[in-house]
């Protein structure tokens, strides 16, 4: 996709554990020179200071544009505002359920609804463990509607040396879904460390 909106990404951070992944996505988007439109849920505002060293204001400062979650008149509430798509990182089971039902109660749900109806890329990084059948059914429904379900499962084939590397690996995979390559995360290079005996 080229043209207006091709380097524009909607990012939502919700109240599931792993707020740092959404924050790193915003930092990566800045490094890549993307225009990111951010919406932060009420519970993300609670998990951000609880789980990370960031203040909510610092996170908002990473966005190109910040939208209030109760502003249903924001540009990202309309399909006529072109974007490459939307990433919900992390995605709570509540937000997942709202999206699966098309229940556009706040701007995060509405922007996701718009992304789906416009057949744009919707990438969800759901976080819960264990997963109930309700969670799994909602993920299947959204996947069948075209959303990409990208759980933050660590890969060990890159031999991560820190939690930062584990986080960045998922962020890079999210960006890959939009066709943006972020050089900070390592890719599988086809070479095994040791040959089997
Ligand atoms: C510290 C903390 C961690 C949480 N972790 C999760 C989680 O991993 N997954 C989840 O679905 N909800 C989690 N929750 C619950 C959500 O924050 C809660 O369901 C909230 O209503 C989600 O709303 P939102 O999607 O609008 O952010 C957590 C809550 C707290 C306080």
Examine residue 165 and state whether it is found in any structural domain, yes or no: yes
Per-residue pLDDT tens over the stretch 114-130 = 999 999 999 999 999 99
CB 54 within 8 A of CB 44: no
Residue 42 structural domain: 8-177
Helix ranges restricted to H, the chain: 19-31, 42-51, 56-60, 93-101, 107-117, 133-144, 163-177
Please report the atom of ligand 1 found closest to the CA of residue 43. Answer: 27
**Is 41 a residue whose pLDDT tops 90?**
yes
Assign residue 161 the CATH number of its domain. 3.40.50.1950
Examine residue 141 and state whether it is found in any structural domain, yes or no: yes
Dihedral sign computed on CA atoms, order 85, 184, 161, 60: negative
**77 ligand 1 Cβ < 6 A:** no
Task: Quote the mean pLDDT of the chain.
Answer: 95
Please report the atom of ligand 1 found closest to the CA of residue 18. Answer: 8
The protein residue whose alpha carbon is closest to atom 9 in ligand 1 is 16
**Is 1 a residue whose pLDDT tops 70?**
no
| Number of folded domains that form the chain | 1
Examine residue 86 and state whether it is found in any structural domain, yes or no: yes
Examine residue 183 and state whether it is found in any structural domain, yes or no: no
Dihedral sign computed on CA atoms, order 75, 8, 119, 129: negative
pTM of the model: 0.96
**135 ligand 1 Cβ < 6 A:** no
Examine residue 171 and state whether it is found in any structural domain, yes or no: yes
Examine residue 191 and state whether it is found in any structural domain, yes or no: no
Examine residue 188 and state whether it is found in any structural domain, yes or no: no
**93 ligand 1 Cβ < 6 A:** yes
Examine residue 110 and state whether it is found in any structural domain, yes or no: yes
Query: 40: part of which helix (H) or strand (E)?
Result: strand 35-40
Distance from the CA of 44 to the center of ligand 1, in angstroms? 8
**138 ligand 1 Cβ < 6 A:** no
Please report the atom of ligand 1 found closest to the CA of residue 106. Answer: 26
**158 ligand 1 Cβ < 6 A:** no
Please report the atom of ligand 1 found closest to the CA of residue 94. Answer: 25
Per-residue pLDDT tens over the stretch 144-166 = 999 999 999 999 998 999 999 99
Cα-atom radius of gyration of the chain, to the nearest Å? 17
């Amino acid at each position: 996709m080229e043209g207006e909106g091709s380097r524009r990404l909607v990012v939502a951070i919700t109240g599931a554990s792993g707020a740092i992944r959404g924050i790193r996505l915003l930092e990566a988007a800045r490094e890549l020179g993307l225009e990111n439109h951010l919406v932060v849920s009420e519970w993300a505002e609670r998990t951000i200071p609880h789980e990370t060293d960031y203040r909510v204001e610092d996170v908002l400062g990473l966005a190109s544009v910040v939208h209030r979650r109760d502003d249903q008149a924001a540009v990202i509430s309309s399909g006529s505002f072109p974007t490459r798509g939307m990433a919900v990182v992390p995605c709570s089971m509540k937000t997942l359920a709202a999206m699966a039902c098309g229940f556009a109660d706040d701007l995060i749900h509405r922007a996701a609804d718009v992304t789906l109806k416009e057949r744009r890329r919707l990438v969800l990084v759901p976080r819960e463990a264990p997963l109930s059948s309700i969670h799994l059914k909602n993920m299947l429904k959204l996947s069948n509607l075209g959303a990409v379900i990208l759980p933050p499962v660590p890969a060990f084939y890159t031999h991560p040396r820190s939690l930062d590397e584990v986080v960045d690996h998922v962020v890079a995979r999210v960006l890959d879904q939009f066709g943006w390559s972020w050089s900070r995360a390592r890719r599988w290079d086809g070479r095994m460390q040791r040959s089997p005996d």
